[in-house]
Amino acid sequence: MSKKKQFALAAALTGATAAVLTAGMFVRREVVKRRPFEIEEATISDMQRALKLGQTTSKDLVQMYLDRIERFDRDGLKLNSILELNPDALHDAEACDVKRTVTANVGPLFGIPVLVKDNLNTAGKMHTTAGSVALADHIAQEDSFVVRQLRKAGAIILGKANLTEFANFMTDKMPNGYSSLGGQVMNPYGASFDVGGSSSGPGAAIAANFAAAAIGTETSGSILSPASSNSLVGIKPTIGVVSRSGIIPIAHSQDTAGPMARTVRDAVLLLNAITGVDEEDEETVWSRGDIPKDYSVFLKHGGLKGARIGIDRHYMESLGDNKVKIINRALEVMKSKGAVVIDPVAIPSSDALEGRESCVMYQEFKWDLNRYLEQLPARVPVHSLKEVIAYNKDHADAALKYGQTVLEKSESMSGDLGEQQYLVDRADDIRLSRKEGIDAVMKNYRLDALIFANSAGCDIAAKAGYPSITVPAGYTNEGEPVGVTFTGMAFSEPKLIELAYSYEQVTKNRKAPELS
Catalytic sites, residue numbers: 117, 198, 222
| Cα distance between residue 195 and residue 73, in whole Å | 14
| Cα distance between residue 294 and residue 477, in whole Å | 39
- In single-letter form, the type of residue at position 444 comes to N
Burial class (CB in 10 A: 0-12, 13-18, 19+), 308: middle
Q: Report CA-CA distances (Å) from 396 to 156, 174, 379, 390.
A: 36, 15, 21, 10
For residues 367-388, b (16+ Cβ closer than 10 Å) or e, as one string? bbbbebbeebeeebbbbbbeeb
| Closest by CA position to 92, among listed 117, 64, 62, 122 | 62
| Cα distance between residue 214 and residue 207, in whole Å | 10
| Cα distance between residue 453 and residue 313, in whole Å | 10
Burial class (CB in 10 A: 0-12, 13-18, 19+), 294: exposed
- In single-letter form, the type of residue at position 341 comes to V
Burial class (CB in 10 A: 0-12, 13-18, 19+), 334: buried
Residue 430 near residue 463, CB atoms below 8 Å:
yes
| Cα distance between residue 268 and residue 261, in whole Å | 9
| Cα distance between residue 458 and residue 219, in whole Å | 9
Q: Report CA-CA distances (Å) from 99 to 29, 90, 106, 115, 154.
A: 17, 14, 9, 22, 10
**Phi, psi of 93, deg, nearest 5:** -65, -40
449-453/308-311 β-pairing: parallel
